[in-house]
């Protein structure tokens, strides 16, 4: 879908005329040419139109992906979504099938190697050169915090990191979140996914049984709860944080109740990927 097609779609959904859609920003004749794909529109004018009518920018740009996103990026996104789905279901066979297709995508290749090794209980067989390549992505201060590809790489390769190194990186992320109050929703969701993976690994490694480990886990839970407060779109992450809080407190009855409620409302696949209760 072109920018013109997308503008027309959201305009009609709101029952607006072309004049109402662009009033005070560009002329109606010019706007009509944009909708009919006869001319382009500046980023500034487009942003003004979207903000004027309170059109969600992330949703709008999703309409444009197929037309404007490079084919390689589209393939990468498709494969990483498929891999994530297979990993969450712990479907090793399917994950291996998708991994065969990522050899030309370096970042995705590293993530796939670790994901397969983790499900196959063969982390110790990962080559040192591969581990070195992953570590090198995080040697530039805090730059990785604002890079989507780096965030995905860390989220999918956590099992190979030492707890000390992982705690350091997550500590930096939590500090960044705390001091930045204008983070976009799409970045917040990336951070939530990363923190969810971190908590799952902490539970698996039982780091919360030590006083220091528990402090780090509790700080992470609090950050998730703060980020998801009054944001319906992020409620599933909020449920996870509360569920995890019950787990480390040993309140397995309450943890099970959360799982039961979510299963009842169709979130079985999500719940299946959560940490299992260690009693």
Tens of pLDDT, residues 174-216: 999 999 988 988 899 999 999 999 999 999 999 998 999 999 9
Q: What is the mean pLDDT of residues 244-259?
A: 92
Token pair for 106: 């370096």
193 is written with which tokens?
Answer: 């996914």
Domains of the chain, residue spans: 3-68, 70-137, 139-278
Note the pTM of the prediction, 2 decimals: 0.70
Q: Helix, strand, coil shares of the chain as percentages rounded to 5?
A: 75, 0, 25
Report the distance separating Cα 191 and Cα 193, nearest Å: 5
State the pLDDT at residue 277: 56
Q: Output the CA torsion sign for 133, 164, 252, 174.
A: negative
Per-residue pLDDT band at 49 (split at 50, 70, 90) = very high
Of the listed ranges 131-145, 169-183, 193-207, 233-247, the one predicted with least confidence: 131-145
Whether the per-residue pLDDT at 27 is higher than 60: the answer is yes
d(CA 142, CA 177): 12
Cβ neighbours of residue 67 closer than 8 Å, sequence gap 6 or more? 1, 2
Decide if 189 contacts 230 (C-beta within 8 A).
Answer: no
Q: Could you report the per-residue pLDDT of 205-229, keeping only the tens digit for each?
A: 999 989 999 999 999 999 999 999 9
Q: How far is CA 45 from CA 21, 23, 34, 42, 62, in A?
A: 12, 11, 11, 5, 19
| 83 band by pLDDT with thresholds 50, 70 and 90 | confident
Domain 3-68 sits in CATH at 1.10.260.40
Dist CA 25 CA 56 (whole Å): 18
- Cβ atoms of 132 and 175 within 8 Å: the answer is no
CB atoms within 10 A of CB 199: 27
Task: Find out whether 229 and 206 touch, Cβ atoms under 8 Å.
Answer: no
% of the chain surpassing 70 pLDDT: 95
Q: Kindly tell me if the per-residue pLDDT of 118 is higher than 60.
A: yes
User: How confident is the prediction for the chain on average, in pLDDT?
Assistant: 88
């Amino acid at each position: 879908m072109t920018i013109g097609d997308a503008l027309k779609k959201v305009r009609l959904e709101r029952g607006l005329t072309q004049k109402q859609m662009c009033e005070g920003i560009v002329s109606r004749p010019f706007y009509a040419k944009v909708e009919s794909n006869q001319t382009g529109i500046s980023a500034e004018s487009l942003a003004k139109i979207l903000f004027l009518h309170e059109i969600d920018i992330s949703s709008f740009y999703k309409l444009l992906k197929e037309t404007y996103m490079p084919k390689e990026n589209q393939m990468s996104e498709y494969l990483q979504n498929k891999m994530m789905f297979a990993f969450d279901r712990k479907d090793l066979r399917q994950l291996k099938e998708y991994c065969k297709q990522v050899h030309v995508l370096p970042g995705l290749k590293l993530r796939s190697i670790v994901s397969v090794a983790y499900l196959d209980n063969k982390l110790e067989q990962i080559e040192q050169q591969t581990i070195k390549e992953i570590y090198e992505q995080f040697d530039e201060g805090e730059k990785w915090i604002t890079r989507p590809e780096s965030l995905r790489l860390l989220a999918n390769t956590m099992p190979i990191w030492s707890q000390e190194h992982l705690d350091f990186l997550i500590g930096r992320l939590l500090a960044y979140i705390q001091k930045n109050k204008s983070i976009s929703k799409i970045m917040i969701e990336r951070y939530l996914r990363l923190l969810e993976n971190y908590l799952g690994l902490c539970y698996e490694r039982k780091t919360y049984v030590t006083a220091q480990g528990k402090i780090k886990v509790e700080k992470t839970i609090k950050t998730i709860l703060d980020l998801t407060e009054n944001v319906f779109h992020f409620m599933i992450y909020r449920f996870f944080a509360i569920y995890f809080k019950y787990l480390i407190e040993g309140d397995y009855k309450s943890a099970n109740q959360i799982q039961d409620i979510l299963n009842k409302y169709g979130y079985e696949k999500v719940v299946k990927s959560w940490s299992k209760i260690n009693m």
